[in-house]
Amino acid sequence: MPSLGADMEAGTLVEWLVKPGDRVKRGDVVAVVETQKGAIEIETFQSGQIEQILVDLKSKVPVGTPLARIRTEGEEKPAAIAAAPPPAVPTAPPAAPAVAHAAPPVVQAPGPPPPITPPPPLAPATAARARVSPAARRLAEERGIDLSTVTGSGPDGAITFADVERRIGEAAAPPEKKRGGLDLAAMRLAIAAAMARSKREIPHYYLEHQVEITACEQWLAEKNATLPPDNRLLLGALAIKAVALAARRFPAFNGFYRDNKFEPAPAVHVGVAVAIRGGGLAAPALHDADRLPLDELMSGMRDLVQRTRAGRIRGSEMSDPTITISSLGERGVEVLYGIIYPPQVAIVGFGKAVVRPWVVDGAIGPRSVITITLSGDHRAPDGHAGALFLAEIGKLLQEPDKL
């Protein structure tokens, strides 16, 4: 079970897209996990053959639990391995990988060998399941309530009949609460946890910069006049590209603050803040945004926004943005100051474009102007570097044809 965010402790496996014997390659979506942020598609980091599924549907397991075993290419059948000393108790699962690398086959010396060390029991999940009164469990089954979504009020957090009744009431009350794979109430809690942690731990500083975007608007109008709707570009795509390029040139804003130090990220994965109808918000990553040509960046952004709103975000998109962009679009307000999503160290905000009197070559004329802000983590790069970074974004937007 991968960690899909700083505050995630456990996830519920809701769908397996592979079965034992299936061949998978790195990057394939193999499962869907329900978290506070909604249903997340889990990709494998290993190529090979699925050997064993370790987590059943509907099981809630802590982060770090292996979900399946994959036999990698070239790994031999366990029977072919020479005898080894009998293994003791099965060891704890590796903590990090989403889908565990197949453990080196261990074979007992005498007798018919079990090919693979059995996984340890999933203690937390089992314990969680045990604390449900039989009447509550029966009621939940009758009404199709997932017990992992019920908060227990009994001794040691045990789920009682009344708790399940209350959950049924909640599920029935607001019909728009669930949208696609999204649970907006749970998402609200995740936002609350991340933003509260940010404001508790990160000493933010804020900079703002007004940038004329007439060049961008003209360039977009000319370009889009020649394109069918499927391929048209939005100002947002130029904004993402400019920020991504600036982040590559100023690596101090692209990465994570962890264990009292800043770690620059090797790639630029721009988190795109996506508002979700009904009051949700997520900022999944557009991978390698600095390297994508604008047309690919635009189609990637459209796909990402649509999937986010439909509740189909992939695990890697949730966990690896290295810097975030938030934009309130062409309506609303002129300036937005973002809150950094930990452990990132910067968020860039775009307000709406407005026509303002502007001095160009000594004369005042109407120009489209946008206010770009930077919220930076003062433990990492300071405000001086932030000013240069923000100015670089403004400069890049003056030459949209080079983006």
Partner 1 sequence: MTDIDIRKVVQEELNNIAPEADLASLDPAADLREAIDIDSMDFLTFITAIHHRLGLDIPEIDYPKLITLKGAVAYIAAHLGSSKGA
Which residues of the shown chain bind partner 1 in the complex (CB under 8 A)?
176, 179, 221, 224-225, 228-230, 232, 234-236, 275, 277-278, 301-302, 305-306, 329-331
Q: Check the CA dihedral 129-130-133-137 and report its sign.
A: positive
Smaller CB distance to partner 1: residue 277 or 378? 277
Smaller CB distance to partner 1: residue 233 or 292? 233
Smaller CB distance to partner 1: residue 248 or 352? 352
User: How many whole angstroms separate alpha carbon 85 and alpha carbon 113?
Assistant: 12
User: Strand 10-16 to strand 60-62: parallel, antiparallel, or no bridges (unpaired)?
Assistant: antiparallel
3-state helix, strand, coil in the chain (%, to 5): 30, 25, 40
CB of 64 to partner 1, least distance (A): 36
DSSP state of 50: E
Smaller CB distance to partner 1: residue 329 or 394? 329
CB of 218 to partner 1, least distance (A): 12
Smaller CB distance to partner 1: residue 155 or 228? 228
Q: Which residues touch 92 (CB under 8 Å, ≥6 apart)?
A: 120
Closest among 353, 222, 194 to 281, alpha carbons compared: 194
CB of 338 to partner 1, least distance (A): 17
CB of 146 to partner 1, least distance (A): 23
Smaller CB distance to partner 1: residue 179 or 248? 179
CB of 171 to partner 1, least distance (A): 18
CB of 278 to partner 1, least distance (A): 7
DSSP codes of every residue in 313-368: EEHHHHH--SEEEEE-TTSS-S-------TTB-EEEEE---EEEEEEETTEEEEEE
Smaller CB distance to partner 1: residue 156 or 230? 230
Let me know the angle formed at the C-alpha of 258 by 386 and 338, rounded to the nearest 5 degrees.
40
CB of 229 to partner 1, least distance (A): 4
CB of 209 to partner 1, least distance (A): 22
Smaller CB distance to partner 1: residue 259 or 401? 401
User: How many whole angstroms separate alpha carbon 298 and alpha carbon 384?
Assistant: 32
DSSP codes of every residue in 166-205: HHHHHHHS-TTSEETTEEHHHHHHHHHHHHHHHHHH--EE
